[in-house]
Every structure is written in C-alpha cells, then in structure tokens.
Structure 1
Amino acid sequence: MTITTGAPPTRSTPAAVASGFLTGGVIGASLAALVVGGIIENALLFVTGLVLPAVYGLLFFLAGAPRRAREAAVAPRTALAMVESREAVGGESTSDVAVRFDLTVAPDDVPAYRVAFTQSINVVDLADYRPGGVVVVQYPPDRPWRLRIVKRPTPEWEERAAGARIDSAPGPAMVSEAPEGCAVGFVGLLALLLAAGGVVLLFRADLFDQNASAHPPAAATGPSVSSSTSSSSTTVVSSASGTVTLGPNQSFLDEGELRRAVSSLAKGTDTRAALTVVVQERLLSIVYAPTGARASTFDPDSLPYDRFPALVKEAKSSLRAGSSQTWQITVERLTGSLTVRVGVTGTEGGASLEADAQGKVVRRTPAH
C-alpha cells in the first residue's frame, strides 16, 4: 500500500454528484411541500413534506448497507502512532469529550504519515494521550485517514507502544477524502430549486385561488399575506406560514439573529401555535397550525435559540460527517414531546443529533 502524505484518494465524482442532486431535491421538495401544504391547507401535501426526508434517509441508509458490510469484512490494520497535538472541541457536559488529534502514524510496512481526526475520549483517560506519547491505532487498509485510537490494545501491542520511539512525519495531515469542489454544491442547489419550483408549479392553481380569496373587496378585512424587504433580509408572512431569508454574509447562527426573525414573523399572524420550524444557514420557515386543527403544536418563542449555535457546532465536530458540511435544524412535536433535530451533510455522508426542549442532547447518530 502506498500512502501519499496530505493527499487522500479522490472519491467517485459521479456518485457524489448524484447523491448531492438527490439530497438537494428532497430538501427542496419537502420544504416546498410544508410551506405550500400549510398555505392551501392540504394535509396530505403537508404530511408528505414531513415524511419525505425520513423515507429518503431510510433509503440512503439501506443503499449504503452493502458497502458498510464489505468494509466491515476487511480486517483493520494495527500500527503505532505518536500524538503530535490534541485539542478538546466539544462534549464538556458529559463524561466523554470530543478531542481533535494530530498523529504521526508509523505502520510496519509503509512510510510514516500524518493524520488528523476527532475521537471521543473519557475525561479520566485524557492524561494517557499527552503530546509525544505513543498509542496503538487501527484503520481500514484502503482508508488510512479513518483512524481510531485503540483504548485497550492487546498485551503484545501495549508492550510495543511502551518501548517505542517515533519521529514526527513531515507534511500536512490527512483529514478525509478529497473534497468534490463546488460541483456537488452547485448540483445540490440546482436540484433544490427545481424540486421546490416543481411543487409550486403542481399546486399553482390552488395557490392562486388562495391568493385571490386572501384579497376580498374593500369592505372586508385586509389581506392575510404580507411581505417586507430590507437591505439585509426578506420576510413573507401569512396566516399559515412565514419565511425569512437573510442576505449575503449573514447567518441565523449569528447572535440574536434567529430570535429577531421569529419575533418578526409572530407579529404578522394571529396565532403563535406552530407545527414545525426549519432553520438553515440563511433561511427560516415556520408552519403554523390551521385554525381548529387538532395537532401537536408549540410556541416558537419558547425554543432554546441560544443553544442552536452550540448544537450545530457539536454536530459538525463530533458526528464524523466530514468536510464541506451543510446543516439544518428541524423542530417539531410529532411524538408528543418537543424535538430539536440537527442534521449535517458532508463528504462522509449524513449525520444528526437530537435535543430536548431545553437544548440538551439526547441522541446522536454519527455518519457511517
């Protein structure tokens, strides 16, 4: 096996582009279905917008099962490595902490190389991984950057590590497979726009009827749909939903930005009960419960917005989704209790974590 320091092998571009196209299409179609279904009060369309991402995630998981089975059947390689540096990057609220390691790996049959990765370590064991120390690691033969520190090595490897001395390897550290550049992102965005436009086009007649009924004669009350545009954001509000789109160089993870946007939407509707809240980098969508609907709702103002940036940061750093990550926060009460789900998508696939109404993480699903 030949290892080129700092230059991991390139992934299959057609497969990555196809995956990006499908993911973007599912995101665009589900968001459009939620918004359009809420506006025209089409329960089937609205439920489709909720179910579609779950079905796609299940199919994505099943499609990757054969590949994971093949990878699991290959015995990992074991080697010694020296800790160049370490840095805690998250998880301080639990007994385990996510640690960013930079190691020099010295396999028996190939030249030494550098690799950087993140692994959860118990705080009690952190002293065993000091810079300069030698540890035992394992990795798949065809993916030497996907490294894991062996916490309890065999007596033979433990004895080798105790008496070993490893010199630092030069060059940049490998972190993952080579990124796909802008092609995957462009195709994903194109698919998102096409899918969202397709849903709107399919239900344009219902939307136009809804818009016509929202503008009664002068003797009636004012319109139920309003929009406003400022130099930094665009807001569209109706009795069934609301969206806020930020301008360039802005993010809903900026301090106070998301809470201000939610408050601006609440002023334009006569109800505060929401069915779902979806947040992306520069897009906020809230779907409100129709009048008289019997559904599990929640008050958007009660969400732990101060915890959202930390949840996104933890999802990106600890779930092994890889680089070039995109993220989405979805809040709902379909199971009776409020669930805050943070999903990230990167070069290693999709991953997610779930938090409760106080923003405390209750479940993590790392990338496979």
Structure 2
Amino acid sequence: MTITKGAPQAPRNTPLPLALARGILTGGVIGASLAAFVVGCVIESVPLCVTGVGLPAVYGLLFFLAGAPRRAREAAIPPRTALARIESLAAIGGEATSDVAVRFDVTVAPDDEIPAYRAEFTQHINLADLPDYRPGGVVVVQYPPDRLWKVRIVKRPTSEWEDRAADACLDSAPGPAVVKEPSEGCAVGFVTLLALLLAAAAVVLAFRADLFDKDTSVQPPSSAQPSVSSTSSTTVVSSASGTVALGAGQSFLDKGELRRAVDSLTKGKDKDTGKALTVVVQERLLSVVFAPTGSQAPRFDPTAVPYERFPALVEEARSTLGIRSPQTWQITTDRLTGSLTIRVGVTGSDGAASLEANGKGEVVRRTPAR
C-alpha cells in the first residue's frame, strides 16, 4: 500500500476568539474565588468564604452544561475505522493490575482521501493480550473524523477487518508528521493569567478598608464600656477597673499625661467607688483597680498620688540602681503595708532593681541590681 507523505491538518476544535474569551472567564473565576476565600478568612466574613468556595463549583457546572450540546454532536458522528501500523509501543504504568497503560506510536492509513498520518496515544491493554501488539504489526483502529488524534485500537474487530489486518502490509508515515490536538497557543495562557491577577486584585481592592484599616488599639472587655476613645489613646472604664493605653510615640512620663489619664478614669465616681486598691503605670499603659463597694481592703484616693514625682523616680531608678542598660520600668502604688507606697521597678541586661517612695514621692528604700 502506498502511503502519501505529509500529515493531514487537524481542525481547530475551538475558534481562537472563543478560546480567548473562555481563558479570560476561567482566569477571572479562579482569581476572584481564591482572593475571596483568603480575604474572607482574614476579615472573618463567612459569606465571602462561601462565595470563594461556591463560585468555582457554579462555574464548573455551567461550563459542563454549556459543553453538553457539543459533546452530543461529537457523539452523534460515527467513528471511522482504518488499519494502522504499530511503529513503537512502551508500557508506562499499571504493572500491578491486570491492565497496563501502553503508549502507542502508529501510522494510520484511512480508506478515504485523508493521507496516512502518524498519531500517538495511550490505551490500557490486558497483560494477556500484550504479546499480540508488537512493532511492525497491523491493527484495526477507530477515530472520530473531526478529531484524528483520538485514535483507539479496536480489540475485537469484525471478521472483515480482522482479515484485512492479517493480509495488510503498511508503510510507515514520516515520523515528524504526527497529528496532535490543536494547541490554543501562548495567547490563551497569557490572557488567562492576566485575568486571574486582575480579578484577585479587584477583590483585594474592594475589601482594602477591612483588610488594612482594622483598629489595632486595645479592645475593651465585653463587660466594660469605653468612656473615651481617640486616635492617640484608648480609655476603658468599668466598675471594677480602668485602663488607658497611649499611642505610639507617647509616654506617661510626659508632663501632665498621667494626671489627665487618672482624672479621666475617676471622673463621675464618688468617694466610695473612686477609691483604688492599686495603680500600675508602664510606659504607655495605666491600670487602676477600684475597690469594691463596702470592701475593707486597704485603699486610697488615686487622685491624691504625687504623679508629678513619677518621672524623677523613674529616672533615679534607671540611673542609680546599677542597671547600665535599662529596658523596661513599672510603677506600682498601693496601701498593702498600711501607708501609701510607691514602688518603681526597672529591668535590663544586668537584671532587675527597685526603689520605694512614700506618699509624698520621697525615696525611702533602694534595692540595687545584684
């Protein structure tokens, strides 16, 4: 049999404009769904997370339904039957089962005006039938007339085709002339990636306020109601306690800052509810624990503490107690020993040290670093 050289041209399954549109839509859905799911997890939005999961599923269903008419048309076209010469074969997997995946390279010789062509495909063959397939052998194959690359070996051909295969002697088509499924090209991949990135960016931009403008200041407990809130500090007051947190760049050692903060916590409280058990001051955090009504625990008026002496006490503790590189400090005021006591503690690489002052802010005891 004479074989015409030159492989037939495989028709493009999808027009390029349609392939580009499908790539844009697919990339947009993937990018938007991934971004929606991630953003939803970050901002704790359940609807957004559900959208990120459900969008690909809906798109996949619509894509399947849209392709149903095409698949029905393809199934309605009867396949062509032809003889084929096995050029080479190689088992590529499935040795542990009764069927093994075999990669075939064949020369297909159609009976119609289509010239002979080379095709490559993978098909599962039973291990018991594998010796029947050898290079140079002729087999009966089928293929869709509009998809020449979808070649399949007919394992049980009719007696007529079986006789033709036994008597046929086919020449090999040129190796480079291999019919393959038409590629959509780099353009489709590029627009798909571009659509993915743009869709993801659009979702992030749409929720940028929730992502990047979230309040990071100290949040009040569920039982507490904030009485003052600003961009530079956050004040929280309840019947049992009160806290003031300063913003970055501020300190309670700044002139008048501590007095104003204490006044904001005691404002509106009477002589009984305004009494405190402890007052703790750090660089940017003030905490006051108020005495419960009727409590017999040692308590004091937080507004009567000499806060104006606190910067000097901290400076003295940082410079005279043997801490060469002080890192943190804390002032605790209470009446646990009967009289008002102000304790200043500092820590650093050399350890910890402290000093005590009386109710007038006068130093009465020092405990240097050891």
Normalising by the smaller structure, the TM-score range is: 0.5 to 0.7
Task: Name the counterpart of 2:294.
Answer: none
* 1:28-78 Cα shifts (integer Å, max 9, x gaps): 111111211111111111122112112111111111110111111111100
The alignment partner of 2:31 has SS state of helix
Is the aligned partner of 1:198 residue 2:195? no
> CA 1:107/1:25 → structure 2, altered by over 3 Å: closer, same or farther?
same
Q: Deviations over 1:138-184 (max 9, x none)?
A: 11112212111111111221121122211111142435233222100
Change in CA separation of 1:90 and 1:173 when aligned onto 2, cut-off 3 Å: farther
- Does structure 1 residue 170 correspond to structure 2 residue 184? no
Check whether the contact 1:102–1:173 (CA below 8 A) recurs between aligned residues.
no
Q: Deviations over 1:324-349 (max 9, x none)?
A: xxxxxxxxxxxxxxxxxxxxxxxxxx
The answer to whether residue 140 in structure 2 is matched with residue 116 in structure 1 is: no
Residues paired across the two proteins, number: 218
Relative to 1, partners in 2 of residues 1:198 and 1:95: Cα closer, same or farther, differing over 3 Å?
farther
Shift of 1:91: 3.6
Rounded Cα–Cα distance in structure 2 between residues aligned with 1:139 and 1:159: 20
| C-alpha distance in structure 2 between counterparts of 1:26 and 1:102, whole Å | 38
Structure index of larger Rg: 2
Q: Is 1:38 the equivalent of 2:41?
A: yes
**Residue 49 and residue 97 in structure 1: after superposition, are their counterparts in 2 closer, same or farther (change >3 A)?**
farther
Shift of 1:202: 1.7
Return closer, same or farther for 1:164/1:54 CA change in 2, 3 Å cut-off.
same
What's 1:5 paired with?
7
User: Which sections of structure 1, spanning at least 5 residues, go unmatched?
Assistant: 221-368
**What residue number does 2:29 align with?**
26
**Alignment match, 1:159:** 163
Aligned-partner Cα distance in 2 for 1:191–1:147: 35
Partner of 2:83: 80
SS, match of residue 213 in structure 2: helix
Q: Considering only aligned residues, what root-mean-square deviation do their CA atoms show, in Å? A: 2.6
The one-letter code sitting in structure 1 at the alignment partner of 2:117 is Y
Q: What is the rounded CA distance, in whole Å, between the counterparts of 1:91 and 1:214 in structure 2?
A: 61
- TM-score normalized by the length of structure 1: 0.54
Tell me how far apart the structure 2 counterparts of residues 69 and 102 of structure 1 sit (CA, whole Å): 29
Work out whether residues 5 and 171 of structure 1, in 8 Å CA contact, stay in contact via their aligned partners in 2: no
Where do 5+ consecutive residues of structure 2 fail to align?
220-232, 234-243, 246-370
> What SS does the aligned partner of 2:50 have?
helix
Paired residue secondary structure (2:129):
helix
Distance in 1 between residues matched to 2:29 and 2:119, nearest whole Å:
34
How far apart, CA to CA, are the structure 2 residues paired with 1:173 and 1:213?
Answer: 66
Report the 3-state secondary structure (helix = DSSP H, G, I; strand = E; otherwise coil) of the residue aligned with 1:31: helix
**Counterpart in the other structure of 1:233:** none
Structure 1 vs Structure 2: percent identity of aligned residues? 71
Alpha-carbon distance between aligned partners in 2 of 1:19 and 1:51, rounded to the nearest angstrom: 19
Contact 1:88 1:99 in 2 (8 A): yes
Query: Shift of residue 122 of structure 1?
Result: 2.6
